[in-house]
Structure 1
Amino acid sequence: MINQHRALEMKEGDGVNVKRLMPIAGFRNYDPFVLWDDFTITPGNGFPNHPHRGFEAITYLYSGSIKHTDNLGNSSTVTSGGAQRFTAGKGIVHSEMPNEESPTRGIQCWINLPGRLKQVEPEYQQVDAQEFSVHEKDGVKIKVLVGDDSPLKIKTAIRYLDIELSADSSHIEPVADGMRGFIYVADGDVTINQQPYRPGESAFFDDEDEVVIGAEQAARVMLAYGAPHGEPIIQYGPYVD
């Protein structure tokens, strides 16, 4: 089963433009995924200090850079092609602010923590671009952000890929039993299981043996799928209880 959804444009943080796939009215989450933002931060805007608890977040940058600080004592700069992960657990306070004079674009994804892990100690991890595995074949470049031998580790079983397709190329992704997820179109037009999708649109799938992504022209998609926890996702702004 595949359902199509479109991200909504809005403002978040301090003047940050986001295309939000979830949570939005009528589509709150997709267990185990809680939030998905395609964000663009312009100089002078960003995400000043704010709290979180109860989930994990991955911020991945297409371009630009951001500086992260938190109440654990971490202070680091994430650059283009790199990522950061925090486990909010029982609580963390952090900020993400642009570190350049040009716009910074990236994706932020929240993944729910199961009830038994809601009160774990908070953690932070940064992974630079060169640390990720990249596989290229038949005009398709796949960067493995989570899964396989990726150094970026979270507490929920997911697979998370950045897929760049050249003109007239395609990728078939086998999906293990019990996994569900989505494909988000970041740039360019694609087909997903032979249906057309444009930038900002996504295909949410469940009970699929495989998904097939095709492109007549250059395109970029993000693919994320994982094992649902089967627990209610109760979100109040920055908190997921």
Structure 2
Amino acid sequence: MPTTELENKIRIRRSSERGFEDFGWTDNWMTFSFANYHDPNWTRFGPIRVIVENHIQPHKGFESHPHRDMEILTYVSSGVLTHGDNMGNKEGIRAGEMQRLSAGKGIVHSEMNEHDEVEHNIQIWILPDQKGHEPGYEMKRYEKAERTGRLRLYVSPEGREESMRINQDAEIYAGILQKGDLYEHDLKQGRGAWLQVVHGTIRINDDVVLYQGDGAGITDLTKLELEAMEESELILFDVAMEFKTPYRID
């Protein structure tokens, strides 16, 4: 497929073009409009509303704060992020681990780096299918060997393959591909894929290249063919582009 035709189906969000805030104790690299950053050209992809990359300094973090009616996923690439909430959960999220927090009717939580090394995470907000769900909490972890050379399913609506359940028509995969590894993912009609490169370099369908921090929204393709140009850590979303949500999304 010629590059010009393929690029019509793949919308690239380069790392350097993302919104950026530096608070000293953490940074925010924002793929979509979030908090004080607004870009009308980048507000969401399907039900994916927020993708924020953080590097939290040692013994710093987000003190207790509330959320409601949002599906919040946190994927840790390195370090440990300690989560605490008003449901009684307190747990460290480690490299290769993803946490699902369904805010639903309302939760209060904190996210702290209680350790001596910088913590690196990707936080994702996905619009729920309705308001007022009961708050929920889950963790999913794969050891590095289990998620190397493939992408593992962390999240799905029905909890397929022992994944965490989410209140939206969205699947989330993550893993590590070694240099030269090939990975294929089929897309059904009406679905789109968002690929986020945490580390490394990835070629899509033998043409478009993404680098560390880059993301891309893919529509109108039936198959993704990913090739790792070096060891690469990825998050892949497979989402319904038409979906049920109580929020106004135009």
1:15 pairs with one of 3, 8, 25: 25
Matched, 1:69 2:77: no
Offset of residue 96 of structure 1: 0.5
State the aligned residue count: 229
**Structure 2: any 5+ residue segments left out of the alignment?**
1-8
Q: Percent sequence identity over matched residues?
A: 25
Query: Which structure 2 residues correspond to residues 54-93 of structure 1 after superposition, within 5 A?
Result: 54-93=69-108
Greater percentage in strand? 1
Residue in 1 that maps onto 2:13: 5
- RMSD over aligned CA atoms reads 2.4
Q: Deviations over 1:43-65 (max 9, x none)?
A: 13211111111211111111111
Secondary structure of the residue aligned to 2:138 is: strand
- 1:95 corresponds in structure 2 to 110
| Residue 151 (structure 1) aligned to one of 152, 156, 163 | 163
The within-5 A match list for 1:18-29 is 18-23=28-33, 24-25=38-39, 26-29=41-44
* Alignment CA distance shift 1:29-1:99 (3 Å): same
Q: Which of 211, 214, 219 does residue 227 from structure 2 map onto?
A: 214
Q: Give the equivalent residue in structure 2 for 1:109.
A: 124
Distance 1:82 1:231, change over 3 A: closer
Distance 1:72 1:12 in 2: 31
Whichever residue aligns with residue 169 of structure 2, its letter is: A
* Normalised TM-score (structure 2): 0.82
Aligned residues of 2:147 and 2:176 also touching (Cα < 8 A): no
How far apart in 1 are the matches of 2:98 and 2:147? 18
Deviations 1:111-170 (A, max 9, x none): 1112xx21122122223435x99466xxx2322212441331112122211132212222
Q: Equivalent residue for 1:238?
A: none
Q: Provide the rounded CA distance (Å) in 2 between the counterparts of 1:135 and 1:43.
A: 27
Deviations 1:72-126 (A, max 9, x none): 2222222222221111112111111013110111211111112xx2112212222
Partner SS for 1:22: coil
The TM-score, its normalising length taken from structure 1, stands at 0.85
> Is 2:70–2:127's contact at 8 Å kept on the other side of the alignment?
yes
Residue identity in the other structure for 2:152: K
Gaps of 5+ in 1: 236-241
